[in-house]
Homo-oligomer: A and B are copies of this chain.
Amino acid sequence: MNNFNLHTPTRILFGKGVITDLRAQIPADARVLITYGGGSVKKTGVLDQVLSALKGLDVLEFGGIEPNPSYETLMKAVKIARDEKVTFLLAVGGGSVLDGTKFIAAAAHYADGVDPWQILETRGSEIQSAIPMGSVLTLPATGSESNNGAVISRKTTGDKQAFKNPHVQPVFAILDPVYTYTLPPRQVANGVVDAFVHTVEQYVTYPVNAKIQDRFAEGILQTLVEEGPKALAEPENYDVRANVMWAATQALNGLIGAGVPQDWATHMLGHELTAMHGLDHAQTLAIVLPALWNEKRDAKRAKLLQYGERVWNITEGSEEERIDAAIAATRNFFEQLGVPTHLSDYGLDGSSIPALLAKLEAHHMTRLGEKQDITLDVSRRIYEAAR
């Protein structure tokens, strides 16, 4: 096991009706800016529940944070937060609203006269403070509700970049599985794929004999495999929704990644696909992961075999056959959720691969993966295999 420093301070309030605990989490004298997305929280009534729970507090609203939240949109909220002297941010939505709100939190406190895009350029390393934030989660997927990372896009340049900093770790997260009943199937499937890939990015690397981390990762994967299809088939099955929601949080709160190697190349290659072609984040992961695993099957051999055996009960055949079967089972799982796994399924023929590689290079993504050996040339092979 590798050394680690793990801090998971976000308070989780989980379950049906826990919105009643929201008020007690926010300072009574706070000036609150509620942030949300395209308005589904209005249609579903979640925003009304939030406003009702906060009655008597000093509350402002900022809606319109889009999927793959953009610097351009978020800077409008930064202006409001600064002008109105907001002291608490409450993100109501999914990972995009969460990530966007983390940017607002840090940018509002960022040094005067410095363009907050600098936060992305420095990957968050220069953030000195941020407006405290909490969240009411409506879409289990990214784990952003209990970690300190975020991914922000810039429309004008086609960039999609990540940052992290302890100052943007949410103070609390309200997780009510009932809020997820009304999600469109595509978002449910995307969320399951996203949580699944978060988990394997921290697990299918090389062994360091970290048994707890491995078992926990496998438990999350088994749960997603069992509950993901059910979440689509039985949208109002509370326990299924609860298990998916808790799985997604555990997939990226730092716990399973503590003390083990981490990959994240699938995410990096995927981000460029989203930035250039507008694919959903999870779609890009479903495209890249099987191709990447096949490309790196030797370096990941031991963990691919362990994954195949413990998650998919693949115990027969040669090592190559078992690895093939593990990759096929994963591809099939994504496809069965309705998330296709080839570029061609999204109308892409691979002609943009040189441009995607140029973007990777521009973003300094030339040595990716747990062994930093996914060079641009390897990335090219992965993109090509994903056609």
Contact = CB atoms under 8 A, between A and B. Distances in A.
Nearest to A212: B246
A159 interface: no
Interface string A4-34: 1111110111111110010000000000000
A243 B211 contact: yes
A247 interface: yes
Q: Copies per complex? A: 2
A5 B22 CA distance: 12
B220 A212 contact: yes
A188 B108 CA distance: 51
B5 A13 contact: yes
Nearest to A219: B215
B219 A223 contact: no
Interface residues of A, number: 43
Contacts of A2: 15
A242 interface: yes
Contact of A12 (B1, B7, B243): B7
A258 interface: yes
A216 interface: yes
Given A212-B220, A212-B243, A216-B219, A6 B12 contact: yes
A61 to B, nearest CB: 27
A194 interface: no
13 contacts: A1-B239, A2-B15, A3-B16, A3-B17, A5-B14, A14-B259, A208-B239, A209-B243, A211-B226, A212-B219, A213-B246, A215-B222, A246-B259
Given A5-B13, A210-B239, A215-B218, 14 more contacts: A1-B15, A1-B243, A2-B15, A3-B18, A4-B13, A4-B15, A5-B14, A6-B12, A7-B12, A208-B239, A210-B242, A211-B243, A212-B219, A246-B259
Interface of A: 1-9, 11-18, 21, 208-216, 218-220, 222-223, 226-227, 239, 242-243, 246-247, 250, 255, 258-259
